Amino acid sequence: MKQLKALILAAATLLMAQAHAVTDAQNDKIAERIKPVGTVCIGAECGGAAVAPAEPRSGEEVYKTACTACHSMGVLGAPKTFDKGAWDERLAKGMDATLKNALNGINAMPAKGNCMNCSDDEILAAIKYMSGR
């Protein structure tokens, strides 16, 4: 009887090991079938360079492409475009300090407002446009 139990236990162990091996092989085949064909990556974070436009953009152009999402509605405390009071408060420390904040980021605003292909002069032009200066 002991021998029969040992034989049954050995057979069950062998079957479980084979079932597990088949499962691993099946999982490998499934993983191979559903793996991504490739990836897409654009810009500086992929080793490429952020491309600056050939000609400087106006403050209004920069505003319309990079600033309007937050500054048109005052998202997260951003001074609204053409809101004299809000901009006077920011500009009280001077245009240079305001530009420095815009270039480096401040509060919820990321550096350059995420316009990484904007030059410092274009950011300054956007500030002047939004503040009505």
Asked if residue 37 is part of any domain, the answer here is no
Instruction: Mention every residue, 6+ apart, whose C-beta is less than 8 A from residue 118.
Output: 52, 57, 62, 66, 112, 126
The answer to whether position 5 is within a domain reads no
- Structure confidence by residue, pLDDT tens digits, 65-115: 899 889 989 888 899 999 999 999 889 999 999 999 999 988 888 999 889
| CATH number for position 95 | 1.10.760.10
pLDDT score at 7: 76
Query: What does the pLDDT read at residue 74?
Result: 87
Q: What is the residue range of 71's domain? A: 53-131
Assigned domain for 82 exists? yes
Task: Give the total number of structural domains in the chain.
Answer: 1
Are 78 and 71 contacting, i.e. CB atoms less than 8 angstroms apart? yes
Q: Cα(127)–Cα(81) distance, rounded to whole angstroms?
A: 9
| DSSP state for residue 35 in the 8-state scheme | S
100-127 exposure pattern, b = at least 16 Cβ within 10 A, e = fewer? ebbeeeeeebeebbebebbeeebbbbbb
Q: What is the pTM of this model?
A: 0.59
